[in-house]
Amino acid sequence: MRRLLPAPGQDDLIQEDLDAAYALPVPPAGTTHVRANFVAAADGAAEVGGRSEALGGPGDRQIFRTLRWLADVVLVGAGTARAENYGPAVVPPARQEARIATGLAPVPPIAVVSGSLAIDPGARLFSAAVRPVLLTAASAPADRAAALREVADVVVCGEENVELGQVLGALAERGLQRVLTEGGPTLHAQLAGAGLLDELCLTVAPMLAGPRHLGIVAGDAWPMAQPMELAHLLEDDGSLFLRYHVPNKG
């Protein structure tokens, strides 16, 4: 992997270089830093056959892991957890030690936003040593909430819908301030649309997926487009890795 921007470029980036390139400051107490990570084809498709797997090569997987290793919590919408059959985050023992040394928990929990709580309590997600966090609304079916409380921390963040400002507040209260959201498009669009996103890490895969695929945002239209500032550009085997900041935020 090599760095193209900011110039002068650097070849043969190693893990330590990626850690430095994606390092995050600890946000002020009670606040969060929200980083989104997506992979998309050159035509913007964020899924092929309903999953993102076909889009990411070895470089994308390395950055995916790196961003998890730097995060306090991994936040996803229930659509992604279901489509991708989410499991617990995997952190190798040496990296767990490194996390502890910098004040992070050994492994980041997975947090899932779901209004319906249509999530199987027997799903792979709940095989984690670290309990997942489910962020839901008061309107979620009580029987599902009760079943899921056996295997996860269930937190109510809103009445009819899950309020994402409350979600971030609940995570910050638990000391989960460096939030990595892995989407999906519906959750991402709400976070970005509400001004809650600090940065976007985007892999552009060297392929066209063709028409009729989801992109990295879905749902209701925004009143206006949002500018982003490019922080860096890396490249590996034709895949591009962009890190964007939201101006005046991250």
Ligand X SMILES: NC(=O)c1ccc[n+]([C@@H]2O[C@H](COP(=O)([O-])OP(=O)(O)OC[C@H]3O[C@@H](n4cnc5c(N)ncnc54)[C@H](OP(=O)(O)O)[C@@H]3O)[C@@H](O)[C@H]2O)c1
Nearer to ligand X, 99 or 171 (CB): 171
Residue 66 in contact with ligand X, rule: CB under 6 A = no
Candidate list 2, 31, 51, 124; residue touching ligand X; CB under 6 A: 51
CB of 76 to ligand X, least distance (A): 5
DSSP labels for the chain? -EEEESSSPBSS--HHHHHHHT--PPPPTT--EEEEEEEEETT----BTTBSGGG--HHHHHHHHHHHHT-SEEEEEHHHHHHTT-------HHHHHHHHHTT--SSPPEEEE-SS----TTSGGGG-SSPPEEEE-TTS-HHHHHHHHTTSEEEE--SSS--HHHHHHHHHHTT--EEEE---HHHHHHHHHTT---EEEEEEES----SS---S--SSPPSS----EEEEEEEETTEEEEEEEPTTT-
The Cβ of residue 232 has, within 10 Å, a number of other Cβ atoms equal to 15
Residue 34 in contact with ligand X, rule: CB under 6 A = no
Candidate list 59, 132, 183, 250; residue touching ligand X; CB under 6 A: 183
Q: Which stretch binds ligand X (CB under 6 A): 10-18, 34-42, 168-176, 235-243?
A: 34-42
Candidate list 13, 24, 204, 214; residue touching ligand X; CB under 6 A: 214
CB of 158 to ligand X, least distance (A): 7
Residue 181 in contact with ligand X, rule: CB under 6 A = no
Residue 118 in contact with ligand X, rule: CB under 6 A = yes
Residue 182 in contact with ligand X, rule: CB under 6 A = yes
Residue 52 in contact with ligand X, rule: CB under 6 A = yes
Residue 233 in contact with ligand X, rule: CB under 6 A = no
Contact positions with ligand X (CB under 6 A) in 133-162: 161-162
Residue 39 in contact with ligand X, rule: CB under 6 A = yes
Residue 80 in contact with ligand X, rule: CB under 6 A = yes
**Would you tell me which residues interact with ligand X (CB under 6 A)?**
38-40, 46-47, 50-52, 55, 76-80, 83-84, 113-116, 118, 161-162, 164, 182-187, 190, 214, 218
